[in-house]
Amino acid sequence: METPAVPTKTYTLNEEQEKNEILRKYRALLRVLKPKLKPGDRELVRHSFEMAADAHKTMRRKSGEPYILHPIAVAMICAEEIGLGVRSTICALLHDTVEDTEVTLEDVQREFGNEIARIVDGLTKISNVIDASSSQQAENFKKILLTLTDDPRVILIKLADRLHNMRTLDSMKREKQLKIASETIWVYTPLAHRMGLYAIKTELEDLSMKYMEPDAYRDIAQKLAETKRERSRYINEFIRPLKEKIEQTGLKFDIYGRPKSIHSIWNKIKKKGVSFEEVYDLFAIRVILDSELQAEKADCWKVYSIITSEYQPQPERLRDWLSRPKSNGYEALHTTVMGPQGRWVEVQVRSRRMDEIAERGLAAHFKYKEGTGHEDRFDKWFQQIRDVIGSPDADSVDFLNDFKTSFLAEEIYVYTPRGDVKMLPAGSTALDFAFYIHSAIGSKTIGAKVNHKLVPIGHKLRSGDQIEIITSNKQKPHEDWLNLVITAKAKSKIKDSLKEEKRKIADDGKYILQKKLEGMKAAVTPGNVELITQFYKLSSSLDLYYNIAIKNIDLKELKEFQVFGDRLDLPRPKHQEHKPQEHHHDHHKPLVPPKDTELIIFGESGDQFKYTLANCCKPIPGDDVFGFITATEGLKIHRNSCPNAARLLANYGHRVVKTKWAKNKDIAFLTGIKIIGLDDVGVINKITNIISGDMRININALTIESRDGLFEGNIKVYVHDKEELNELVSRLKSLRGIQTVDRFDPEENK
């Protein structure tokens, strides 16, 4: 094998080692690609590697290693884990060159042709997402999707890039880790799911959790490690009888147990309100069949029949994605059965082809797409995205949220009156369905029949429903319809229709303003309209005209304005001589925290900031927190585990301020603890003894409800910091008969 050129200079021993490391990784990449190399491909790959190595030769990553190792790693993920081919590998090697180095898009086009240049251009556009402002960030996300609909490989390579960045996030600063991890959870994991890349989606979720919820992550990882031996023993016991019976059918197969991801276990713990020990599906059993294409379905059902004759199934837990695959192509049978020792176990049955599609998603589709019709589903999906992105004035941040609910959610199947199947995102309403059928039908909807029963237009649909839409020519979209739909298509059509309506009304307002200005000897010029719009604190001239038309603004203040020729100028401020002085003084006054929360939070420079604690998550000293600069309320402090954290960090990273707690034992913070346990004699006394007696913590409120031998206590207490709260929780947990002790937001239980 000819050695490719890595930029040369006088190497020290260390640099010599680095050069060898680069070549070793590059050769490993070539080995993975070998089965896919056609004549001339090896030279092309080598040329792209040399071009990238030369372009990045002076660059290093945050960890200190040569930058070129990153593009090689991304190319390796594309080739080995996603199963992409030679073109994608070349694009992955070049993905950062146009963005970060002297290499131009024209250079790439000249050396490698239009197709590769187009993909690299798409990747360059996407890379601007990181560190951009919120609307710009969402705007770029829109660009990602536009490029994605041109060539899905762009998003697959971008996911590989993000996966490698997440795997090497340790060398980044803490606030950068939080921002990148949040963005990953917010945008990239749903995309990986939608592209059918389950293995990558799962790893991205786990890695994000490792940085956003380090304590919970470590706790579950440790418990998984501790229970591994016992789990393996159980899996072997569960599998043994199944293996024997499937072997008797003559089918070729693999059967094994695989652990659920840390993130999915954590989700279960949160959703179900259970402890780690109570999560029954810490693993799933997988049966992979080596079946011929035409026999796949029948073989899967045969195995299902064997499993359910050996173990009792839970009827409502059967998931049949053989008859109706998910729109990302996922096909399998899932069932939950009662295994030995009275434990529920999830079993997944699929063929080797289905398994490859499940793990490698879209890339595997193209390999198998002959005669299966799978690509139709992707094409439909891309077409829907194109339709929605086509609306030029859609607000980008709204678009991003709509995109998540419309295109990245699980799907449901519903039927038209004629029996045609339509696929909609979970959570869709009858009105979503109406717009999905046609915009003109959506706009005239007055009601619907679901399974032949009359329902309101906001009725939430379930899989299997049959829907008939009832329309009227007198109907038109209303503002509150926006709260009744979740799909991007419905939202954008309703907004368009409302805007059109608003424009008609606004024309009257424009006429009123024109008359008013003519009376003042001024004109409706863009400059004048802009000035008046700003004066009334509105965002556009359309809003100004509309508010005038509906008499929200009576334009009385216009007589205060000054007129020069036909140009307006702002009114002269009254008492001008005092104002600047006060304003100037205010501006330089140091910001002091409000009295009720005197605890100081430090920004980067060690300045003291005025701040408030966010109501959505009620942080207390010691919690992992970040500061967020709001538009109207200054600096707000949120917990990293706040329900809104991922959205804020991912969409508005530029407004996040690094914060940490300073020690101040004088101030106490109100927090709540919920206790559930057996209603035993004297248990309340023991609880209050620990809180007030042993730990001398002040109780603000206490409610106890007892029912059927169980009690639930909600106690609001004043604690100084998280350490004190943790100590209190662990002492309460150690009491006999106490089942759970959890923190809650004291505002919720007023």
Per-residue model confidence (pLDDT) at position 573? 59
Closest CA to 18 of 32, 31, 8: 8
**Do residues 470 and 535 both lie within one domain?**
no
What is the model's pLDDT at position 275? 79
At 348, is the secondary structure helix, strand, or coil? strand
Q: How many CB atoms are located within 10 Å of the residue 238 CB?
A: 23
3-state secondary structure of 285: strand
Query: Are both 104 and 57 inside the same structural domain?
Result: yes
Is 536 in the same domain as 613? no
If asked whether residues 59 and 154 sit together in one domain, one would say yes
Question: Which is nearest to 432 in space by CA: 454, 402, 408?
Answer: 402
Q: What confidence tier does 45 reach under pLDDT thresholds 50, 70, 90?
A: very high
Judged against a pLDDT cut of 80, whether residue 261 lies above it is answered with yes
Q: Which of 641, 715, 642 is nearest to 676 (CA)?
A: 715
E strand spans, 659-734: 669-678, 698-707, 710-719
Q: Do the domain assignments include residue 532?
A: yes
Nearest to 359 by CA among 348, 344, 373, 347: 348
Q: What's the structural domain count of the chain?
A: 6
Task: Annotate 186-220 with b (16+ C-beta within 10 A) or e (fewer).
Answer: bbbbbbbbbbbbbbbbbbbbbbbbbbbbeebbeeb
Average pLDDT estimate for 146-161: 74
186 occurs within a structural domain? no
CA-wise closest residue to 661 among 721, 725, 593 = 721
Which positions are catalytic?
99-100
Give the CA-trace dihedral at 382, 384, 386, 392, to 10 degrees.
-150
- When comparing pLDDT for 196 and 129, which is higher? 196
Q: Is residue 202 situated within a structural domain?
A: no
Specify if 101 maps to a domain. Answer: yes
Question: CA-CA distance, 291 to 299, in Å (whole number)?
Answer: 7
pLDDT of res. 398: 54
Measured between alpha carbons, how far is 92 from 127 in angstroms, rounded to an integer?
Answer: 13
What would the two tokens of residue 523 be? 């004109």
pLDDT at 364: 62
- 522 and 457 in a single domain? The answer is no
Mean pLDDT, the chain, whole residue set: 79
In a domain, 583, yes or no: no
Looking at 532, 556, 580, the residue that finishes a domain is: 556
What is the distance, to the nearest Å, from the Cα of residue 82 to the centroid of all Cα atoms in its chain? Answer: 21
Q: Residue 389 — pLDDT band, cuts 50, 70, 90?
A: low
Nearest to 344 by CA among 285, 256, 303: 285
pLDDT band of 588, cuts 50, 70, 90: very low
**What CATH number did the domain enclosing 339 receive?**
3.30.460.10
Degrees, nearest 5: CA angle 119-120-124: 120
Q: Rounded to the nearest 10 degrees, how much is the dihedral formed by the CA atoms of 430, 434, 437, 442?
A: -160
C-alpha gyration radius of the chain: 31
User: Residue 203: inside a domain, yes or no?
Assistant: no
Q: In terms of domains, do 167 and 46 share one?
A: yes
Lowest mean pLDDT among 331-335, 343-347, 553-557: 553-557
pLDDT at 652 over 60: yes
Q: How confident is the model at residue 381 (pLDDT cuts 50, 70, 90)?
A: low
With both helix axes pointing from N to C terminus, report the angle between 134-150 and 153-167 in degrees, rounded to the nearest 10.
130
Per-residue model confidence (pLDDT) at position 582? 37
Q: Are residues 548 and 478 in the same domain?
A: no
Task: Give 574's pLDDT tier (boundaries 50, 70, 90).
Answer: low
Looking at the structure, do residues 718 and 674 belong to the same domain, yes or no? yes
Do 491 and 504 lie in one domain? The reply is no
Q: State which amino acid sits at residue 523.
A: A
Look at 81 and 560; give whichever has higher pLDDT. 81
25 in any annotated domain:
yes
Q: Which amino acid, 713?
A: G
Which stretch of 64-78, 113-127, 163-177, 472-486 has the lowest confidence by average pLDDT?
Answer: 113-127
Residues 134 and 274 in one domain: no
Q: Where are the alpha helices (DSSP H) in 104-258?
A: 105-112, 114-127, 134-150, 153-167, 174-183, 189-194, 198-212, 214-226, 228-248
- Residue that is last in its domain, among 368, 393, 410: 368
Among 509, 486, 357, CA closest to 432: 486
Going from the C-alpha of 701 to that of each of 670, 678, 687, 688, the distances in angstroms are: 10, 21, 13, 12
Is the model more confident about 468 or about 153?
468
Torsion of Cα atoms, 203 then 206 then 208 then 209, to 10°? 180
Tokens representing residue 205 in the block: 């979720």
**Do 436 and 388 touch, CB atoms closer than 8 A?**
no
Tell me: do 380 and 457 sit in the same domain. yes
Between strands 411-415 and 421-425, the pairing is: antiparallel
Among candidate residues 171, 197, 231, the one where a domain is terminated: 171
**Residue 595: pLDDT band by 50, 70, 90 thresholds?**
very low
Instruction: Give the span between the Cα atoms of 389 and 667, in whole angstroms.
Output: 51
* Per-residue model confidence (pLDDT) at position 539: 75
More confident position, 622 or 313: 313
Residue range(s) defining the domain that contains residue 478: 376-495
Tell me, yes or no, whether 750 lies in a domain. no
Average pLDDT over residues 501-505: 85
More confident residue, 242 or 326: 242
449-458: average pLDDT: 89
CATH number, domain with residue 481: 3.10.20.30
The CA angle 168-169-171, to the nearest 5 degrees, is: 90
Residues 292 and 166 in one domain: no
CATH value at residue 685: 3.30.70.260
pLDDT(658) > 60? yes
pLDDT tens, 2-15?
Answer: 667 665 554 454 77
